[in-house]
Chains A and B, each alone.
Chain A
Amino acid sequence: MARLLLPLAHHSEPIDPDLWEWLSDKIDHVLGIDAGAMVLLLGAVIVLFPVAVMVLVWRRRA
């Protein structure tokens, strides 16, 4: 059962926790940005996309 949590996500299988730990360490090492800044950065990416789509649709309908 433990192996159901593994790496190569096809549809929506959960990512493997060991691989993710290794990957996040590497990302931290390469980028050198602290967790709080990464939350803001990735959060902005996640929020901006739908907001941009909604603005475009609003403008189109206006």
Chain B
Amino acid sequence: MDAMMQAALWFWFPAIALVVGTGTALSSRSESIKKLSKIIAIIGFILVLLSPVTVPESPSSAAGHLLGSIIGPCALLTTGIYLLAFSGNVEVGKLTSRDRKIGSACTFFGLIWLEGMHWWTWTPMLNGEVNPYWLVFWPTFLLLSTGLSSGAAFSLRYLGHLREKESNFMLVLSSLTFALTVLGMMLDGPNIAAETFRTHFWLAASDIFGLGVGVGLSILVFALVIWIYESSLPPAKTLDAPSQQELSQAASIISDHIGGEQE
């Protein structure tokens, strides 16, 4: 079997199964299809994770390696945030104070783990080099987190009522990711030099901007297709205006049902 076929079999088909399975599991109404989609998505996910072993010569398998490397800290961070949010002041389904401590620990270690991938020796390495997709993921995550946290802070301040404390918390979060990005641009990590990080920061910014324009264009085309179709439809059939007899009949029915003085 040639290299292309092997990559298709061990990476691309599982990746498609993962995306389609997740989409179907989230959108299907049938319980049996949902269950089947979940199984397909899980199998796809495992095969994508195993792709650095099954097709090590394919460059795409670096994505499977990255997924395997970041799944731990990302799961810790997500679980931590969930536990912290639902162990606070919520009316329904409040978690215990023990869950809050676990949530704090998960969030803290998730962040440390992610930071250690840049500032320490935990960087995802493939064949002796930094995984190229880590250099896509990390600057993109920092850049988006800074912007979105700042946006959330100002939304709380301007759209919320008496939410200054929460807004300040989000500003601190935004400043933290901002500072981490600036530090990455100026100081060398053990595996990623500051210049390399700056280059990939620019590439991540270009990526986000390009993706935004591309997605915007496709939405515009989608709206255009629907508008052209809708404007080609014949106008909807409207009913004739009611006759005098119909109006007086309606008036007599209405008068029978209002008032109540006869009772």
A, B bound: no
